[in-house]
Copies of this chain bind each other. A is one copy, B any other.
Amino acid sequence: MSTLPLIDRQEAIDLVAEQRWADLRPLLARWPEPEIADLLAELTPAEQVVVFRLLPRFLSSDVFAHLEGDEQNDLLSQLNSEETRQLLANLSPDDRTQLFEELPGQATQKLLNLLSPEDLREARQLLGYPEESVGRLMTPDYVAVRPEWMIGYALEHIRARGRDSETVNIIYVTDAQWRFVDAVELRRFILHPPHETVSQIVDDNYVVLSAFDDREKAVQALRRYDLPALPVIDSQGVMIGIVTFDDLLDVADEEATEDFHKGAAVAPLKTSYPDAKIYELVKKRAPWLVTLIFVNIFSGAAIAAFEDTIAAVVALVFFLPLLIGSSGNAGAQAATLMVRALAMGEVQLRDWGRLFSKELFVSGLLGLSMAIVVCALALVRVSPEVAMVVALTMFVVVIVGSLIGTLMPFVLSRFGFDPATASGPLITSLADIAGVLIYFSLATWLLGLL
């Protein structure tokens, strides 16, 4: 990253080691907050608390918000009550909610006791929304004006209130009962004469969220409407907060990571990979692996059923990995294309029929080209009879695998599961069973081994 003020982390670490606090302070004041957070993470607990106390108060809460969950917990345990109280008061409400979510229950309770009555009410309210809801991501720090105000007066209000709010690019218009009226870009206030009223620049063009909406909905709205912040209302239409693009970007990243993990038959990790404990990784991976053993037993059983065919033409076994592998690979491709298109809203559940026909064509062409390749191989290495069986099997299993991959996300979704669970490993295992049955049935029939 070409960050112009060169971040010389070693210099800072040396200053800490030499306890030259007076030199460290002005250096850190010029660093972006995430860099300071990374520096803290590298220090000993005793050093951490000294450096943290060096930071100007407005900076220290932002730095704190950039620490990982357990780093926050460690640092908190070093601060005294008054410092903790001030830190909590300076954290923005959405960062505070996140902290409370990640700390163990007892620690959260201790912190709640340190809040001012007003902040406590706010925290209780935000924590009252369901997990993964828009309410949890929300901050009440926004600027609202009334429709009947003159624009000049509204601008004064924006100046006075803007310092605490997370964004001033968008100003919200609410009525006397705080019911949401409109979202208006700041520039419209600047462009219109100060003696006009706010109601004259209201354009009824807005997008709102409910606090109970799934956070995934908020991300979709951000994708679609490109707004830096979205207003949040309750069931009465009263405006209760905003969600900002930076929190939604984090959610989008987390959801994509979850889909990646599910797609490889890993239960989503709650922490980043390097932070995940070994037993946690085992716990997230073992259930699917063991489940797939039982799915794979059917492949074994299918092979067992054709014991005579195999014993008669052992050469058939040579092509088994190739054929069932290709079927699984084509299925994994189709499933991934579907899962991602569903996640990005490019495809809806009701489209399954149209996509099924499209995939039939695509996989037919794929199966044909692969059948030609594998037929040539079998002709060279075994016999024309086996080549015919192998080529025909390839054509059929690529189509069958692809169709399993295409339909599985829709089937899972229909039964209330996340379509992303239609993972490569699951599709591969199912395609294996289908592949074995098709291969040996065709072989038994075509080679006259009945």
Tell me the A residues contacting B by CB distance below 8 Å: 1-5, 29-32, 34, 159, 162-163, 167-169, 180, 186-187, 190-191, 203-210, 213, 217, 220-226, 228, 237, 245-246, 249-250, 252-253, 256-257, 259-261, 263-266, 269, 272-274, 278-279, 281-282, 285-286, 288-290, 292-293, 296-297, 299-301, 303-304, 307, 310-311, 314-315, 317-322, 324-326, 328-330, 332-333, 335-341, 344, 346-347, 351, 355, 358, 361-362, 365-366, 369-370, 373-374, 377, 398, 424-425, 428-429, 432, 436
Contacts and interface: CB of A to CB of B under 8 A. Distances in A.
A246 B264 contact: no
Most buried by B among A4, A264, A322: A264
Given A318-B304, A332-B264, A344 B257 contact: yes
A397 B168 CA distance: 57
Contact of A263 (B260, B281, B315): B260
Nearest to A325: B296
A322 B337 contact: no
Contact of A187 (B32, B162, B358): B162
5 contacts: A2-B208, A163-B187, A274-B341, A282-B365, A285-B362
Contacts of A318: 300-301, 303-304
Nearest to A433: B321
Q: Which of A167, A250, A290, A436 has the most CB of B within 10 A?
A: A290
Contact of A321 (B2, B168, B274, B299): B299
Contacts of A370: 286, 289-290, 293
Contacts of A292: 325-326, 329
B209 A261 contact: no
Contacts of A180: 4
B289 A303 contact: no
A407 to B, nearest CB: 15
Contacts of A281: 337, 358, 362
Contacts of A333: 264-266, 285, 288-289, 425
A237 B203 CA distance: 41
